[in-house]
């Protein structure tokens, strides 16, 4: 890192993958705006980092386009620019048969995983193309579900497939502004939400079986690797997963 700290925004930064990525960036000398719906987990993560003024908690609902614009404006006002967006915030829906999924649950997943991610990309472009030096990097959190679904996951899987489309399109559209756009697809990271997998999760053939997890901090290091690349290079798709989780092969 240079003496001047680079500036990152991490959404969904209070817990799980977002927190791990924020801590990895802060530990490497980055300045990070931690965004998320609940303020206290953001403050706790910032305090845990020991990064002092390099960690800024900004409560943000990414499904609200005005809140996302305010997030970026606050970061630019405070730090002058945005070098990195880790577009991580996301939710799932109850694992029920698709015909039983309430429309409200479907819309909630779309509002956060798809619309919210678009609002963040749009604002990152707005800021990054106008700043000097121009450009920056966006890393979208896809998921192995961006490639292969689990049973009873239509809302999550559909939005994560859409994330792949946004990554490819934004990568293309960002070239003229020196904006590099890539995606990290994570499988079975050891977050609080994923702990249930050790007790059993439905497989493609209908049986329930436990699945292995990996340390979530491995994902944080993967994001840090992508973030620290020079803008002339881009990891468009990076898959990091528990080695023995069921993904490749016939489910």
Burial class (CB in 10 A: 0-12, 13-18, 19+), 129: middle
Cβ(127)–Cβ(78) below 8 Å:
no
Q: What is the pLDDT of residues 151-194, one digit of tens each?
A: 889 999 999 999 999 999 999 999 999 999 999 999 877 566 66
Q: Which of 119, 156, 177, 225 is catalytic?
A: 156
pLDDT at 14 (0 to 100): 95
Question: 163 with 146: CB under 8 angstroms?
Answer: yes
For the segment 22-29, the average pLDDT, to the nearest whole number, is 98
pLDDT of 251 reads 55
Q: Percent of the chain scored above 70 by pLDDT?
A: 94
Q: Is the peptide bond between 133 and the residue preceding it cis, with omega within 30 degrees of 0?
A: yes
Domains of the chain in sequence order: 7-241 (3.40.50.720)
What sign does the CA torsion over 77, 79, 80, 84 have? negative
Q: What pLDDT sits at residue 101? A: 96
Identify the top-confidence range among 38-42, 88-92, 184-188. Answer: 38-42
Q: Residue 238's beta-bridge partner residues?
A: 184
Mean pLDDT of 204-225: 85
What is the average pLDDT across 33-56? 97
Contact 95, 153 (CB under 8 A): yes
Give the N- to C-terminal CA distance of the chain in Å, as an integer: 43
Compute the distance between CA of residue 168 and CA of residue 175 in angstroms, rounded to an integer. 11
pLDDT value at 1 more than 50: no
**Is 119 designated active site?**
no
Q: Is the pLDDT of residue 85 over 60?
A: yes
Q: Structure tokens of 53?
A: 């003024």
Helix 216-227 and helix 16-27, axial crossing angle in degrees, nearest 10: 50
Mean pLDDT, residues 228-240: 96
Which residues have a Cβ under 8 Å from the Cβ of 125 and sit 6 or more positions away?
A: 170, 173, 174, 177, 179
What is the structure's pLDDT at 18? Answer: 96
Average pLDDT over the chain, rounded to an integer: 92
Euclidean distance between CA atoms 229 and 244, whole angstroms:
29
With the C-alpha atoms ordered 161, 220, 54, 14, is the resulting torsion angle positive or negative?
positive
Banded pLDDT at 2 (limits 50, 70, 90): very low
pLDDT of residue 250: 57
Mean pLDDT of 223-227: 98
Closest CA to 112 of 92, 126, 137: 92
The model's pLDDT over 117-163, given as tens digits with 9 standing for 90+, comes to 999 999 999 999 999 999 999 999 999 988 888 888 999 999 999 99
Spatial separation of the C-alpha atoms in residues 45 and 68, rounded to whole Å: 20
Answer whether 0.85 is exceeded by the pTM.
yes
């Amino acid at each position: 890192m240079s003496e001047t700290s680079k500036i990152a925004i991490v959404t969904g930064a209070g817990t799980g993958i977002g927190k791990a990525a924020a801590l990895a960036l802060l530990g490497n000398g980055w300045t990070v705006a931690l965004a998320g719906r609940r303020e206290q987990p953001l403050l706790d993560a910032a305090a845990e980092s020991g990064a002092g003024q390099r960690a800024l908690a900004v409560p943000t609902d990414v499904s609200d386009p005005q809140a996302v614009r305010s997030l970026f404006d606050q970061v630019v006002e405070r730090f002058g620019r945005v070098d990195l967006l880790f577009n991580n915030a996301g939710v799932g829906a109850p694992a029920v048969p698709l015909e039983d999924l309430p429309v409200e649950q479907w819309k909630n997943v779309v509002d956060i995983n798809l619309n919210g991610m678009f609002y963040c990309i749009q604002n990152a472009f707005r800021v990054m193309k106008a700043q000097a030096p121009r450009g920056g990097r966006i890393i979208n959190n896809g998921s192995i579900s961006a490639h292969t679904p689990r049973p009873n996951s239509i809302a999550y899987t559909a939005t994560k497939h859409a994330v792949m489309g946004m990554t490819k399109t934004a990568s293309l559209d960002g070239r003229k502004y020196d904006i590099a756009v890539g995606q990290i697809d994570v499988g079975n990271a050891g977050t609080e939400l994923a702990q249930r997998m050790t007790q059993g999760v439905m497989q493609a053939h209908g049986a329930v079986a436990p699945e292995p997890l990996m340390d979530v901090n491995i994902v944080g290091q993967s994001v840090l690797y992508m973030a620290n690349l020079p803008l002339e290079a881009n990891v468009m798709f990076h898959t990091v997963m528990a080695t023995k989780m069921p993904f490749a092969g016939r489910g």
